[in-house]
Amino acid sequence: MPSYTVTVATGSQWFAGTDDYIYLSLVGSAGCSEKHLLDKPFYNDFERGAVDSYDVTVDEELGEIQLVRIEKRKYWLNDDWYLKYITLKTPYGDYIEFPCYRWITGDGEVVLRDGRAKLAQDDQIHILKQHRRKELETRQKQYRWMEWNPGFPLSIDAKCHKDLPRDIQFDSEKGVDFVLNYSKAMENLFINRFMHMFQSSWNDFADFEKIFVKISNTISERVMNHWQEDLMFGYQFLNGCNPVLIQRCTELPKKLPVTTEMVECSLERQLSLEQEVQQGNIFIVDFELLDGIDANKTDPCTLQFLAAPICLLYKNLANKIVPIAIQLSQIPGDENPIFLPSDAKYDWLLAKIWVRSSDFHVHQTITHLLRTHLVSEVFGIAMYRQLPAVHPIFKLLVAHVRFTIAINTKAREQLICEYGLFDKAIKARGMESKEDIPYYFYRDDGLLVWEAIKTFTAEVVDIYYESDQVVEEDPELQDFVNDVYVYGMRGRKSSGFPKSVKSREQLSEYLTVVIFTASAQHAAVNFGQYDWCSWIPNAPPTMRAPPPTAKGVVTIEQIVDTLPDRGRSCWHLGAVWALSQFQENELFLGMYPEEHFIEKPVKEAMARFRKNLEAIVSVIAERNKKKQLPYYYLSPDRIPNSVAI
């Protein structure tokens, strides 16, 4: 009678093992086997991290093995099990790999195909077509779209983390509990004693040092020492937490009636302001998005205020970006003066603080939450709904949506009651020239990483799609792209997302957007938060007085009373510390420990991808050796694969 050797690998994460009964049956082209209990006498099967082998003898020849069915039945209490993969050695000595990387819960079962990636058109056998269809039908019932907030992309239909499908939950509930992480932050930062001092102002700027943790030679300490300087203010628009707002000014907006006379002491080329604009030396950051938005009212005891400033910046003769004019509201007028570097020290400083506070709000809500977290969640939901596990694009993307839906659900539960090609987005803001703007490291490193990802995705696409026609005729791929557009982006053309992809080039660009957004873009705007935002006056999360309406009246006492109180400062510090930490066992860009792909050409493409990323790490490390302010957020060895914090 034919005999098979079955090797079963159990996950190594917490609670991955099981004491339940595990049954296996084989489905072949010539027949199906009986159910076999996988059990060795006097042995604890399926322990966490274990790789166990079993001999399975069948009554008759099964032909080519098409499916493996695994069933789990309760032994005492239901005991979830994480199955990594199964390897089958056939009677003829062949080895067949069946990737799983899923949880089996309750009295559940999973039916696995071998690890070769297949498009829908590749499946001609009825049982395989049926398996493909049933998998998507099941997933579409589990992964449902829901409107979280009007105007936002749709999200997963789950009120809390435990409502999510088990496969996308965090491995450990404790590891992602924001309350626990905050408590840990407070303890690590030694700021518990200030936590409940709401409505209590600091005495002066130096007083903020009481909650500031000095770590020698870090960016955060340099920010504390230089935050009032115009050079540091301008630099942050290029390489701080929010390096995506600054754009070249091609025409002075009418709503900012600034003149040459106002700013001539800042201009270094003996040109008029209009001539500086024409030569490409003037840049602008406009926070119009915040105009008319009500400030947070979560604290009934503290009035909070927002502004929608316009900040004009200048590239000086040293090619550094510095601010030259700030208007704190969108509509010009007598009570909305244009603040200048030539004004009184505290007038100018408070104007810059208002810009930094506005930048903090746009960074958190748009740059960070919307354009990385929520957009990546859209990709994840659409992938699970429309791409079966055997599809090559599922295998490519699954590592890049790891824990994203879980972290967002946690955030909605506990914290929170544009499809743009990277290089084109840089060009649209007039920021592409390395000669013109030599210190824009976010752009330089981002382009290197973008190209490495693009090369990799193009190689994978070419392996599985012989022509543009195959792309266009892949129904599952087109359903995935359409799901992103219709549900995630609410069918808005202005989102820039396509309804379909029609060529291999378009597909590789689309996949590059997905992977870059989930990995590099999120890293660029997330992991520098402690560096740039831990010195509270440099990134105030709230302002307790309205913007000034006149010059010559601002005092340091007024500034301190405008900045966050002691309690809110501590909560802010705890938040940016917690958000800036890597996860335990973080997986960085290029790391694919779950072997969803088994084919040699893809594994070789992955190896080339890793080699390209290692070269980028070396380039960035060499540049940073010479920098007082190193930029490392887009070094691939510091870019997690997915949005998971």
pLDDT tens figures, 376-396: 999 999 999 999 999 999 999
- Section 310-324 average pLDDT: 97
More confident residue, 150 or 32: 32
Report, as an integer, the average pLDDT of 553-564. 92
**203 has pLDDT over 80:** no
pLDDT at 174: 43
* DSSP character at residue 294: P
Q: Is 58 helix (H, G, I), strand (E, B) or coil?
A: coil
- Nearest-CA neighbor of 400 among 42, 614, 642, 69? 642
CA 277 vs CA 161, 237, 249, 332, 500: distances in Å: 51, 18, 6, 20, 40
Range of lowest pLDDT (39-53, 207-221, 305-319): 207-221
pLDDT of residue 299: 61
Return the pLDDT at 565.
Answer: 84
DSSP H or E segment with residue 5: strand 3-10
Task: Classify 72 as helix, strand or coil.
Answer: strand
Cα dist from 291 to 213, 261, 367, whole Å: 34, 28, 17
Cα 545 vs. chain centroid, distance in angstroms? 33
Does residue 165 surpass a pLDDT of 80? Answer: yes
Mean pLDDT is lowest, of 196-205, 257-266, 347-356, for 196-205
Residue 198 pLDDT class (50, 70, 90 cuts): very low
Confidence of residue 148 (pLDDT cuts 50, 70, 90): confident
pTM for the full predicted model: 0.92
Give the per-residue pLDDT at 173: 47
Given a cut of 50, whether residue 419 has pLDDT beyond it is: no
Is 60 exceeded by the pLDDT of residue 25?
Answer: yes
Phi, psi of 255 (to 5 degrees): -75, -5
Burial label, 226 (beta-carbon count in 10 A; 0-12, 13-18, 19+):
middle
* Residues written for the chain: 645
176: pLDDT strictly greater than 80 = no
Q: Is the pLDDT of residue 184 over 80?
A: no
- For range 128-133, the mean pLDDT: 96
pLDDT band at 424 (very low <50, low <70, confident <90, very high): confident
How far, in Å, CA of 578 to CA of 410, rounded? Answer: 14
Percent of residues, the chain, with pLDDT higher than 70: 91
User: Are 117 and 599 in contact, with CB atoms under 8 Å apart?
Assistant: yes
- Rounded to whole angstroms, the Cα distance separating 126 from 133 reads 11
- For 154, other C-beta atoms within 10 Å of its C-beta total 21
Specify the pLDDT at position 537. Answer: 92
Tell me the average pLDDT of the chain: 90
Give the C-alpha separation, 570 to 185, whole Å: 10
pLDDT score recorded for residue 409: 81
Q: Given pLDDT bands bounded at 50, 70 and 90, which one contains residue 340?
A: very high
Over 90: is that where the pLDDT of 357 sits? Answer: yes
Whether the pLDDT of residue 604 is over 70: the answer is yes
pLDDT for 474 = 98
Name the residue with higher pLDDT: 508 or 419: 508
pLDDT confidence band for 575 (50 / 70 / 90):
confident
Q: How confident is the model at residue 180 (pLDDT cuts 50, 70, 90)?
A: low
Q: 366-402 in b/e burial notation, b at 16+ Cβ within 10 A? A: bbbbebbbbbbbbbbbbbbbbbbbbbbbbbbbbbbbb
- Is residue 326 predicted with pLDDT exceeding 90? yes
